[in-house]
Amino acid sequence: DAKTTQPTSMDCAEGRAANLPCNHSTISGNEYVYWYRQIHSQGPQYIIHGLKNNETNEMASLIITEDRKSSTLILPHATLRDTAVYYCIVRVGDTDKLIFGTGTRLQVFP
């Protein structure tokens, strides 16, 4: 299973872009990178996923390096409601299993 490494915590000012890094140096060619977030005492919420190309949706952008060993989740204009734990996950092979790491606790401040 490809493991991921994320910083334990990050701060971001409201209105600024939040850039959350993730290392996944052992990722295999057919494994996707997923990002979820969990607001306190709620179930995780899907944000975005990608394989090779950069991806963007209404919530965020995902930048994956050419060698696929790392990625960055970008929240373009962070709000206080974006305060949460953000999990970068590499999906396990051909299964649907998502193995959660420790995640990054993002604190957005006014």
Partner 1 sequence: GAVVSQHPSWVICKSGTSVKIECRSLDFQATTMFWYRQFPKQSLMLMATSNEGSKATYEQGVEKDKFLINHASLTLSTLTVTSAHPEDSSFYICSASHTGLAIDEQFFGPGTRLTVL
**Interface positions with partner 1 (CB under 8 A):** 34, 36, 38, 41-46, 49, 87, 95-103
Nearest residue (CB) to partner 1, 14 versus 36: 36
Nearest residue (CB) to partner 1, 41 versus 110: 41
Measured from the CB of residue 44, what is the shortest distance to partner 1 in angstroms? Answer: 5
Measured from the CB of residue 68, what is the shortest distance to partner 1 in angstroms? Answer: 19
Query: Which residue carries 């919530």 as its tokens?
Result: 59
Q: According to the 3-state scheme, what is the secondary structure of 45-90?
A: EEEEEECCCCEECCCCEEEECCCCCEEEEEECCCCHHHCEEEEEEE
Nearest residue (CB) to partner 1, 18 versus 36: 36
Q: How far is CA 103 from CA 2, 30, 66, 77, 99, in A?
A: 15, 22, 23, 20, 11
Nearest residue (CB) to partner 1, 13 versus 98: 98
Measured from the CB of residue 53, what is the shortest distance to partner 1 in angstroms? Answer: 15
